[in-house]
């Protein structure tokens, strides 16, 4: 039974910590970024934990060197720095090199979307989904709660290949009872089934989508909700089957819209079917310098549940 809420980071790292004990191949690198669970990892496994410094480029290459020698590596940092400060390192080592050499490097970034709300745009991650999805050979994973973060952690440690895992910076309400409910290889989870419109969301926006669905349900609209937690490797035909009978599909992401993130992912998945309309919701292509809390900022950009419900109605009227 899941707690009422949890931090994805804590659940993910607890899985890693448990594995450190049994799997001698597991190595943890942090770019001077911490957590209470990580303090335990550092204390109990000093030979397999290294703080590489505030040096993300170094983080990726040292991780690659270790992975080439057979280690399963977790590379942990703040999401925007992990995905953008060292993008070329990721491309050369985890994109190019991994195509011919088996590597298990798991980039774990904390601070999905606007979750570091008052920290400002330098610390927010609105580009990471699209730029990471662009890279061949890199899996992109974006859980919506603690249990799914834990399931993704288990998946990462067991499956080879480079991965980018986008974790929220705030504690979030639990959605899944346990990690066992999350089929990472499927890549998505159908929360509700309907007939009129399907809201496909990732990360924090899954919570908002579920709220929007309640609003619409009260108006006798039949609404589906899908949590898309794998954005590059997922079962496309199963996804297409789930979404196929809806008149309208709306994607909702806490990232720049129309730039290659979740919306592009769904267009890819449904492209072959044709005729089905995908409406994309996300943040507009500009940075916000106004201090505000996350929900307020999202509402301002039309990503609150009320606006999402309104968008769904509008789509259905067309």
Partner 1 sequence: MRGKDLEGMARRIRGKVIEMSHRAETPHLGSALSCVDILTAAYGSVLRIDPGAPADPGRDRFILSKGHAATALYAALAFHGFFPESLLDTYASHGSRLEEHPTPNCVPGVEAATGSLGHGLPLGLGMALASRIQERPYRVYVTMSDGECNEGSSWEAAMMAPAQGVVNLCAIVDFNRWQATGRSCEVMALCPLREKWQAFGWSATEVDGHDVKALAELMQRVPDGSGKPVAIIANTVKGKGVSFMEDDNNWHYRVPTADELSAARKELGLS
142 closest CA partner among 2, 237, 8? 8
> Toward partner 1, which CB reaches closer, 98 or 208?
98
Q: How far apart are the C-alpha atoms of 231 and 265, rounded to whole Å?
A: 6
Indicate whether 50 belongs to the interface with partner 1 (CB under 8 A).
Answer: yes
**Please, which residue, 103 or 280, has the CB nearer to partner 1?**
103
C-alpha 229/C-alpha 227 separation (Å) is: 6
- The stretch near partner 1 (CB under 8 A) out of 49-57, 180-188, 191-199, 253-261 is 49-57
SS3 label, residue 219: coil
Closer residue to partner 1 (CB): 62 or 201: 62
Q: Tell me how many helices (H) and strands (E) the chain has.
A: 12, 13
Return d(Cα 291, Cα 297) in angstroms, integer. Answer: 9
Q: How far apart are CA 113 and CA 241, in angstroms?
A: 29
Site for partner 1 in 78-97 (CB under 8 A): 88-89, 92-93, 96-97
Among 36, 65, 244, 258, binds partner 1 (CB under 8 A): 65
Task: Tell whether residue 6 is a contact of partner 1 (CB under 8 A).
Answer: no
The minimum distance between CB 46 and partner 1, in angstroms, equals 11
Site for partner 1 in 97-136 (CB under 8 A): 97, 100-101
Q: Is 1 helix (H, G, I), strand (E, B) or coil?
A: coil
- Complex with partner 1: residue 59 or 243, whichever CB lies closer: 59
Taking the alpha carbons of 8, 80, 234, 14 in that order, is the dihedral positive or negative? negative
Member of 62, 147, 209, 243 binding partner 1 (CB under 8 A): 62
How many angstroms from the chain centroid is the CA of residue 203?
6
Contact residues: partner 1, CB under 8 A: 27, 47-48, 50, 52-53, 55, 57-58, 60-71, 88-89, 92-93, 96-97, 100-101
């Amino acid at each position: 039974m899941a707690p009422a809420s949890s931090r994805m980071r804590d659940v993910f790292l607890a899985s890693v910590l448990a594995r450190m004990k049994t799997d001698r191949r597991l190595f943890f690198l942090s770019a001077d970024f911490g957590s209470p669970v990580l303090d335990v990892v550092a204390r109990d496994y000093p030979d397999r934990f290294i703080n590489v410094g505030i040096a993300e480029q170094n983080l990726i290459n040292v991780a690659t060197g270790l992975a080439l020698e057979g280690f399963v590596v977790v590379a942990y940092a703040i999401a925007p720095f992990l995905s953008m400060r060292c993008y070329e390192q990721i491309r050369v080592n985890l994109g190019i090199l991994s195509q011919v050499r088996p590597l298990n490097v798991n980039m774990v970034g904390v601070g999905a979307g606007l979750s570091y709300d008052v920290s400002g745009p330098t610390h927010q991650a609105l580009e990471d989904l699209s730029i990471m999805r662009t890279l061949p050979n890199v899996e992109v994973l974006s859980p919506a709660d603690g249990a799914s973060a834990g399931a993704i952690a288990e998946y990462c440690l067991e499956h080879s290949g480079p991965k980018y895992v986008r974790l929220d910076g705030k504690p979030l309400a639990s959605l899944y009872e346990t990690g066992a409910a999350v089929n990472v290889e499927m890549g998505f989870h159908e929360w509700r089934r309907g007939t009129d419109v399907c809201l496909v969301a990732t990360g924090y926006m899954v919570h908002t989508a579920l709220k929007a669905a309640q609003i619409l349900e009260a108006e006798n609209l039949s609404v589906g909700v899908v949590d898309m937690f794998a954005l590059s490797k997922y079962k496309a035909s199963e996804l297409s089957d789930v979404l196929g009978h809806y008149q309208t599909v709306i994607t909702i992401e806490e990232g720049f819209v129309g730039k290659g993130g979740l919306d592009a992912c769904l267009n890819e998945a449904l492209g072959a079917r044709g005729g089905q309309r995908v409406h994309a919701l996300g943040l507009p292509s500009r940075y916000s310098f106004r201090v505000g809390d996350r929900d307020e900022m999202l509402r301002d950009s039309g990503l609150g549940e009320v606006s999402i419900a309104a968008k769904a109605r509008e789509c259905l009227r067309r």
